[in-house]
Chain A
């Protein structure tokens, strides 16, 4: 154990440089965020993740953001356990009808100002699951969406770029 700690201390960080905030995401966000909110949030975001019918693939890559290589927290972005502590809901999945109410309640429990990010093709468009009896489809059919991060699942770098864009926009002006 001691050896591990020593290697970690002397070995330098394993964390990689951040990708540039995604241009498309920046453009999408521009103008959506209200000034007062930016002042209030500063450069930090608390995210509550909600699986609304995901296959769990998106969750795996969101998890990866927390590993020491992507190290999301260095940007002031962190995942929180309760929607009451969150600024952002990060929603995955094609909104399974069995999850619709829980998703809406989670959104209602999140204090404003708040943003909603649709993560993954399922959340963005319903993916392969749109049109069935069991799913609503895109998250935007249920709640207002501020940012879309496509991919199946989005790579951690894409997630990071999207979230950084959200951060920049929210703190930028």
Chain B
């Protein structure tokens, strides 16, 4: 593409492949190689998939969107410093700041060196580095970016918001009603997930992965499980593979239904929320009846699934699909036909195609702005290669488009559930449960890309020789969506912020970790 050197071409020249990293290659670069990579990134379209630290190393993952090739690059930083990617990949900035706050790694020539997750409240600095440091004795306040101009005023909002939502701080600079700039400050729900995962057995770590972001518990569990299985070269039973997809699609529908209603509710159209929340409840109850948990938490585990579908499950699921197919379209017609509602959602919170590409934003945020990317299709994973589905993509980039992407995805997921239920493979011979035990005492490195309802999750894991988790980095899709919310609200009125925010529905917990 663009006549540039292919991903693997460049990496083979500037780096050396690391053994035992699956399923995609990992390259160790020297400092020169890393600088060459930055040079290359300035002129090519490779998407940044993630960036994470270790006490003496930094890793980044990329995808060449055209070919779908994926690779991880690593740089040892014995001095705790590495050249920043933020100038060529702005989405790297917050990840680098997180790596700094947790591991003490300094990004040289960064576009923004301020702390991100560290709010001077932990009682320790760089807690995951080899030498954690004492806290700053009397920390000053966080500095927000300066905004200058006539007639501007600031509105600070949060961290505690006026609703049942997660905490974060938004600093609006407005000119009258119009937002001139929004600056986010996140990290309030940092629970130290990556630190807690370190040194734990896989099964315990899986429970943490399930609680990274409760609304995407299935997807995060799946990403963790797939990364571990890649590291160990484990093949899970076919029935488990299909049941995982079943749960993932139920999760997608439940969240989209909730979001569609909540977005309309924020446009003062409460009817829709009252309706879709009933449908959502219907999905959760079916999930509960089939898998014993309304959100299906801890049901996807490394090696397979924790609960098999009960005998009556297939019937319940097909009933659910039939009922939603009956009750959902009339609601869509209401949404489509309400001029007062469209007045709020059409053209509001616009994000350009250029911006979603530059930040590599996925999910409904990317696909409503023309970025045709879905991890279920590229890189793709089983059983989706055997299922028929479309990935809806729109180009308008506004709140309305993000609603429509969700509507279309609900329809697609209903079809997927139907296909899965009718074609679900029987349990493999010799197994009494759709899971296989993980062989103890083996190590390896693995990575997984999984499409949550919100977009693509990357999870990277290294297991040590005893099979314990040496390092795990789960990168929620929100990392690449939050920065775009700042852009989406610019030029809109303050009162439209809840609407824009809901239409993104980024995760705070998944981002803050």
Taking Cβ atoms with an 8 Å cutoff, the residues of A that contact B are 1, 3-4, 14, 49-64, 66-69, 79, 81-83, 93-94, 96-102, 106, 127-129, 132-135, 152-153, 155
Contacts and interface: CB of A to CB of B under 8 A. Distances in A.
A115 B509 CA distance: 26
A3 B119 CA distance: 52
Contact of B189 (A66, A68, A93, A152): A93
Most chain A CB inside 10 Å of its own CB: which residue of B122, B123, B211: B211
Contacts of B212: 55
A55 B217 CA distance: 9
A40 B124 CA distance: 45
Given A68-B274, A99-B189, A128-B208, A51 B166 contact: yes
A109 to B, nearest CB: 9
A40 B438 CA distance: 59
Interface stretch (B33-41, B156-164, B399-407): B156-164
Nearest to A129: B191
B278 interface: yes
B337 interface: yes
Interface in B266-285: 271, 274-275, 277-278, 280-281, 284
Interface of A, secondary structure class, is mixed
B358 interface: no
A56 B295 contact: no
B139 interface: no
B165 interface: yes
Q: Which of B122, B195, B507 neighbours the largest number of chain A CB atoms within 10 Å of its CB? A: B122
B480 interface: no
Contacts of B334: 1, 4
B15 interface: no
Contacts of A153: 214, 295
Nearest to B169: A102
B127 interface: yes
Interface string B164-189: 11110000000000000000000111
A133 B122 contact: yes
Contacts, number: 143
A128 B214 contact: no
Contacts of B124: 133
A62 B508 CA distance: 17
Interface centre among A56, A62, A102, A133 (most CB of B within 10 A): A56
B295 A57 contact: yes
B456 interface: no
A57 B297 contact: yes
B59 interface: no
24 contacts: A1-B334, A1-B337, A3-B330, A4-B330, A51-B189, A53-B188, A53-B189, A53-B190, A54-B166, A55-B212, A55-B509, A56-B166, A57-B211, A60-B214, A60-B215, A82-B162, A93-B191, A96-B190, A98-B119, A99-B188, A132-B196, A133-B122, A133-B195, A153-B295
B68 interface: no
A90 B165 CA distance: 12
A94 B191 contact: yes
A64 B281 contact: yes
B213 A55 contact: yes
Nearest to B192: A134
B145 interface: no
B195 A134 contact: yes
Nearest to B162: A81
B188 A67 contact: no
A132 B188 contact: no
A171 to B, nearest CB: 24
A79 B162 CA distance: 10
Given A56-B508, A98-B119, A106 B160 contact: yes
Nearest to A14: B278
Contacts of A49: 164
A99 B294 CA distance: 27
Contact of A59 (B165, B192, B275, B512): B165
Contacts of B331: 4
